[in-house]
Structure 1
Amino acid sequence: MSRRPTPALAVAALLAMTVAGCSSGAAPAVRGIPTPPPKATTPAPRVPAGNAPTETFAVGVRQLKLNRDGDRPLPVTLWYPARGAAGGTPERSAPAATGRFPVVMFSHGLGARPEDYQLLLSRWAAAGFVVAAPRFPHTGTGSDGNVLDVLNQPADVSYALTQVLALDTKADDPLRGRLDEERVAAAGHSAGGVTTIGLFTAGRDERLDAGIVFAGTALGVGTAFAGAAAPQLFVHGEADEVVDYAAGKAVYDAVPWPKAMLSLPKGDHGRALLADGRALRVVADTTVEFLRWTLYGDAKAKDRLPADATRGNLATLDDHL
């Protein structure tokens, strides 16, 4: 049975009960001897141990037309492992490769569109992931640019995720039997990073097993991370001219789960995500290993992650995974 989204009010109530329970469960102090603080524990990811595919796949791409509540059009671009020779450009509506693949929901930045990130997202698909990227109605290219609508986007992503996962059982759909609904992550850049953080805080979607935040901030969505442990990878340029590096680091510091932060000393707000180059290769390889570990349960991928992150001395990794 698939995991369902947790409504914001339920999350708030759960947090209130958790705080009350912690405050009433402390051990009594002995006079003259301070009570030691409870020992912190790092929760383990909930995806069982396994192995990620060792092959590189060809990549297919297709469009899915969605609309939430009739007034929020959400066209979704899907990149997925496909049959054929690996290494080429994504092929429109190519036959899907054999297997069941984890799903990654990707949220674009303000004034952007999913296709802008194809270089990165197609590399995820080639590694064995189905990537679904909605184009948001008020923050995408050519929209009214209403930045406040970012606060509605976590619900958009949850809705789109439900519709994407439904393809696994939809008769005659090319992705029928190819989606693993128990292995799901969310990722996003800039305003999409805010959206992604929101999916683990006020708009917690319990189906999500992991998150990747590129140049994100908690503005509007907060840092009250809730629900089951979901490892997080933050990627941020130290020379970011839009979202200050310290703002992203502050959110990262608030994450209570296994986490890591990939910092690019010369990185800006994310242009490395859009054009091929050394920085994109480091980011792509690091995020692929993170997804292999969190969604396939591949321990060897976790072991490789630090070396990929620091290759070429382009980035540093704060590793608490």
Structure 2
Amino acid sequence: MLRRRAALVTAALLTAALTGCSGGTVPAERTAPSASPKATTPAARPPAGHAPTESFAVGVRQLKLNRDGHRALPVVLWYPARGAAGGAPERSAPAADGRFPVVMFSHGLGAQPEDYQPLLSRWAAAGFVVAAPRFPHTSTGSDGNVLDVLNQPADVSYALTQVLAADEKPDDPLHGRLAVDRVAAAGHSAGGVTTVGLFTAGRDERLDAGIVFAGTALGVGTAFAGAAAPQLFVHGQADEVVDYAAGKAVYDAVPWPKAMLSLPKGDHGRALLTDGAALRVVADTTVEFLRWTLYADAAAKRRLPADATRGGLATLDDHL
């Protein structure tokens, strides 16, 4: 009975936090109770390097995955491609030469990977392979079982294994194109919960960094564990779904290098979906963060504060 009650409470809180159409908010005190972070080891930093300075054309393709035979997980891949930069992503375009870090992206409740193409294609153009699973119970047109968010960290870890395996397959278009030892996770809203879970209850030690957009720690907790992995939080201070204070509470619990990009006029994340000044600030800031954490590009870290505060659209709490 106690277990059933706990499940019902968790479901209610997750639903309140992540269902955008509800119009409700989740105050800070409703986030999962903070736990003292487990002992962590310093991050194994790659040798100092330089991220690509050129912008790439972008290719897009899909992997059809299925975890345990009953969790269909189609994955959209955006990747650096050959050709002229600046155009729309081209389906199945040949991959550009080089080895590129991988970013796993988790969509929000009632969304799908393609909704985030304006942001994710920018990451690919900057020299990252972006892999975004479509989750079986929280995506567009699914049954909307919000509790299934708690299964999604394992989905992402499974999808990551399959994506990285492509580097060793001679017949795969990404054969020899993946920097398999340089991986980050990112996600929005319910995908933010998923991403936090990948560094707490479902820690995936392959992950070197994380980006949480409008996320909270409901159901996954704040017991960050494992090797240090820098984290960037992005949250609108006018978020109508996940209260800004709730996201800030999770950020405060991170024991590693971290920064929080706050948008005073930002809502729950529409800036991630459409082109505009706010998206450009978010995209440029996250690209510099990924360049620093995955390419070990020190110059990118130095540029990050200026990109974050350009135009006065956002502020940056910087502890990187």
Question: What TM-score, normalized to structure 2?
Answer: 0.87
- 2:37·2:255 contact (CA, 8 Å) conserved in 1? no
Counterpart of 1:273, as a letter, is L
Cα separation, 1, equivalents of 2:127 and 2:46: 16
Instruction: Say how many residue pairs are matched.
Output: 286
Mapping for residues 67-82 of structure 1, pairs under 5 Å: 67-82=66-81
| CA deviation map 1:94-139 (0-9, x unaligned) | 0000000000000000000000000000000000000000000000
SS at match of 2:271: helix
2:300 alignment counterpart:
301
Hey, what's the Cα distance between the residues in 1 that align with 2:102 and 2:77? 10
Q: Normalising by structure 1, what TM-score?
A: 0.87
Question: Which residue number in structure 2 is paired with residue 291 of structure 1?
Answer: 290
Distance 1:318 1:18, change over 3 A: closer
Superposition pairs of residues 74-93 of structure 1, within 5 angstroms = 74-93=73-92
Q: Secondary structure at the match of 2:119?
A: helix
In the alignment, is residue 245 of structure 1 matched against residue 239 of structure 2?
A: no
Q: Percent identity?
A: 89
- Residue 311 of structure 1 aligns with an amino acid whose one-letter code is R
Larger Rg: 1
Q: 1:300 to 1:140 in 2, by over 3 A?
A: same
Q: Which has the higher contact order (CA 8 A, sep 6+)?
A: 2
Asked whether the 8 Å contact 1:240–1:267 carries over to 2, the reply is yes
Q: State the SS of the aligned residue for 2:294.
A: helix
User: 1:172 maps to which residue?
Assistant: 171
Q: Aligned equivalents of 2:46 and 2:136: distance in 1?
A: 33
Equivalences for residues 1-321 of structure 1 within 5 A: 43=42, 46-321=45-320
| Distance change in 2, residues 1:264/1:17 (3 Å) | closer
Distance (whole Å) between structure 1 residues aligned to residue 249 and residue 200 of structure 2: 15
Work out whether residues 201 and 221 of structure 1, in 8 Å CA contact, stay in contact via their aligned partners in 2.
yes
* Separation in structure 2 between the aligned mates of residue 172 and residue 160 of structure 1, nearest angstrom: 19
**1:157 alignment partner AA:** V
The whole-number CA distance in structure 2 between the counterparts of 1:304 and 1:43 is 24
Distance 1:222 1:170 in 2: 37
Q: Secondary structure at the match of 2:127?
A: coil
Q: Cα distance 1:126–1:17, how it changes in 2: closer, same or farther (>3 A)?
A: closer
Matched letter for residue 173 of structure 2: P
Task: State how far apart, in whole Å, the 1-side matches of 2:272 and 2:241 are.
Answer: 15
Q: Distance in 1 between matches of 2:119 and 2:281?
A: 11
User: Within 2, Cα distance between the matches of 1:126 and 1:58?
Assistant: 6
Q: In 2, distance between residues paired with 1:313 and 1:79?
A: 30
Where does structure 2 lack aligned partners over 5 or more consecutive residues? 1-34
Q: Residue 18 and residue 273 in structure 1: after superposition, are their counterparts in 2 closer, same or farther (change >3 A)?
A: closer
- Could you tell me how far 1:44 is from its partner in structure 2? 5.5
State the SS of the aligned residue for 1:75: strand
Q: For the residues of structure 1 that align with 2:260 and 2:110, how far apart are their CA atoms?
A: 25
1:42 touches 1:257 (CA, 8 Å); kept in 2? no
Give the gaps of 5 or more residues in structure 1: 1-14, 20-40
- Give the AA of the match of 2:204: D
Q: 1:211 to 1:17 in 2, by over 3 A?
A: closer
- Structure 1 vs Structure 2 CA RMSD: 1.7
Offset of residue 49 of structure 1: 1.2
User: How far is 1:42 from its partner?
Assistant: 10
Return the alpha-carbon distance in structure 1 between the equivalents of residues 37 and 207 of structure 2: 22
